[in-house]
Each structure stands twice: as C-alpha cells, then as structure tokens.
Amino acid sequence: MIPITDILSQGENSAVEFKSAGTNAEMIAREMISFANTNGGVILVGVEDDGTISGVDTDKQNETWASNIARDAVVPPLNIHSQIVDFQGKHLLYIDVPKGKHKPYHSNSGKFYIRIGSTNRAPSQVELMRLFQQSGSFHYDQVGIEKTTVNDLNFYKIDSYFEQYGLNFNEEEDKERLLRNVDLLTEEGNVTVAGLLVFGINPQRYLLNASISFAHYKGNDISDYLMNHQVISGTLDNQIDTCVALIKNSLTSGSTIEGTKTVPTQPAYQERVFREIIVNACIHRNYAISGSRIRVFLFDDRLEVHSPGRLPNTITIEKLSAGVSFAVNPIILKFMENLRYVDKLGRGLPLVWNEARKLGKQVFFSEIGEEFVVSLGI
C-alpha cells in the first residue's frame, strides 16, 4: 500500500482519486472502470477534492461496499483490494484498483471510461478500439482501408508467395475470392491493413506513419550530434531488412591483427539479434495509432526501439522475457511467419536477452506511455 502521506502530497492525478464519504456507488464504479481501463490507481474515500481529511463512518461495512461495487456495477467484474486505514485520528477507505486484465470494462448501462490526467472521460472511437485490441477481441490488421482496391496490391509479390505452396496465382480465375479468403481483401473489396503492409504497392499512401524512423546519434542522448536520420517505408519485409542493414552499417567495432586473421577487439551481436528486435516491433505494433512511427535510436552505448502500442491484457514484461508469445496482428504474423521472418514460438525476445547476457550487456523491456520499448546495451 502506498503511504497515505505520499498520496495526499501528490494530490489527484492519473493514478489517484479523492472521494467524499457520501459519494454514491455509481461514481465509485466510474472511477474503478477508468482506472482498470488505463493503468490502475488508488481511490481514497474520506478525502475531499482539496485534500481535506473528512473520514468515513466505520459503522458502515466499507470494504464489503467497495467489493460489491467492483463485482456488481463493473462489467466484467473487477478484483480490487480495499481496507480501512487510520490517518490523523480519522478513518479512510483505501481502494486499490489494478490495471485490468480483461479490458475494456464498462458500467451496467454500457458506458466506458478511461483516465486522462486527474479526470475520467468517455474514450474516443479510436481509444475504445485500442481497448478492444488489448483484449484480443478485435484485430486492427483485418480492417479494410477505405478507397483501396485490389489494384493497390503487388500481384508479382503475391504470386511469389503462393508459388511456395504450389499455387499459380496468375492462373487463378477468381483472384479476388482467393484474396478475400486469406484476409488480404475485405468482402467489400478493400485491401486490409495486413494486405497493404505485406503486399501493398505503396502502403504509406494510405497508412502514412506505418514506417520506421531511424536516428543515429554520436553520444548517448538525443541532444547529441545526429549523424544519420532516415524514414524507412515500404512493405514490412523491406522496412525490416533496411533498418537492420542501417544498424549493422552504423555500428563501429575495433579490430586487431592476430597472425593472418582480423580479430574484433570486442564481442559483437549477431545480426539476428537486431533482426528479432525490429521484427518484433513491426509485427506487434499497434497500427491503429496512426500518428506514430516505430522509432529506432542508435546511441554509442545502446540501441532503443520504440514501438507504438501497449502490451495485450494478459501479457507482462516478465512473461515476454520467459518466451510467452502474443499476436496483436495475427494476419500480419501469419504472412510474416510464412515469409520466414518470424516464428510463433515466442523465442525472439528471450534470444535477445540471452545474447546480451553472453556479451555482458543488459537489455530492458518496458512500457512508456503508449509505447513498448526495447533498450539493448551495445
């Protein structure tokens, strides 16, 4: 439990809400829903908005009241922890609301809420879509993009793809039916997000920021000298290959002559380590966040890869490190697996962690805001 003095000194924020003892159950449920749909938080009942301690009536079964709200007024039911704490001679009800594992949560009347700063509000259509993506009940890569047609797909590349399965795509009488069956086209004839990103002629014409921003700095901070900056576009395979090549070509490693051999003076990562990180970012990013690119920063001491989108509900940093896999974009994953860029065994990030350990380096996985970040020491 966070110390009460620390909570009061911070005031209301993205993870703290003060409520009077007389607050009704509907308002408490709204706070629980907003915290569960965001990153969790604490509701302190018996504290006024200005931080004044008013306390709660201990004759009331406060913990049972809070648990009943979480169970009966939140859909799906939410597991919370609540307890009465003594502070300055008064009693407060401390309600700890975890980050929800079954997002999105809503009220009995079907209303959704999220936490923005110190306030709650109804999510926008895009924000609600992200919540459903995190639950795994909706996948953005299957969405059709307006104004696209079959002519936005590269038939030569599609033919090469199907050739490995003994199918001659160019001889198919009903090409659009086949493309619908493999989720490259919608029933309405629009190209899906997956179709554009894997087989599109010019994906960024419709998905402007579905690309990688690469920056190489001379130093260990973004305020240091920028040596190279490029925006990498095209299909995902092209983005991955180009970005990995840029990383390799930008890294400098000393060497010495031993006999007739050139021997590196310091151990270096294998190319597959960089490839795994970039593949992971491209395949698992949230493409519904249209205003952000994947950002790759190469510093003297580390490689940082920022991928838009948070982890799905049931996935934690610890599970990633242990090799638990997930599919934010299952259609993209299917095609990139068949193109030999990935497998579904969850070995990518554990491989990165093991290779870093062998070289005495560190790798950190983290969520910062709406991004998943990999920081690899070099």
Q: Look at 323 and 247; give whichever has higher pLDDT.
A: 247
Distance CA 198, CA 154 (A): 9
Closest CA to 343 of 247, 270, 275, 286: 275
Residue 230: per-residue pLDDT: 96
Residue 360: per-residue pLDDT: 92
Residue 369: per-residue pLDDT: 81
Residue 134: per-residue pLDDT: 65
Average pLDDT, the chain: 88
Q: What is the mean pLDDT of residues 37-41?
A: 91
Q: Residue 324: pLDDT band by 50, 70, 90 thresholds? A: low
CB under 8 Å to 349, separation ≥6 — which residues?
Answer: 276, 280, 320, 321, 323, 365, 374
Q: Is the separation of the CB atoms in 100 and 313 below 8 Å?
A: yes
Per-residue pLDDT tens over the stretch 342-377: 865 556 778 888 899 999 999 998 988 889 999 999
Residue 234: per-residue pLDDT: 97
Residue 93: per-residue pLDDT: 95
Residue with tokens 């995902």: 236
Q: Is the separation of the CB atoms in 153 and 118 below 8 Å?
A: no
Residue 50: per-residue pLDDT: 87
pLDDT above 60 (res 314): no
Q: What is the mean pLDDT of residues 40-56?
A: 92
* pTM score, whole prediction: 0.68
At 331, the amino acid letter reads: I
pLDDT above 90 (res 100): no
Residue 130: per-residue pLDDT: 72
Per-residue pLDDT tens over the stretch 164-176: 888 888 888 899 9
Residue with tokens 């709660």: 56
Per-residue pLDDT tens over the stretch 230-245: 999 999 999 999 999 9
pLDDT above 70 (res 267): no
Domains in the chain, ordered, with CATH?
Answer: 11-123 (3.30.950.30), 140-202 (no CATH), 212-377 (3.30.565.60)
CB under 8 Å to 107, separation ≥6 — which residues?
Answer: 26, 29, 30, 33, 73, 74, 75, 113
Residue 175: per-residue pLDDT: 92
DSSP at 170: G
Q: What is the mean pLDDT of residues 99-126?
A: 88
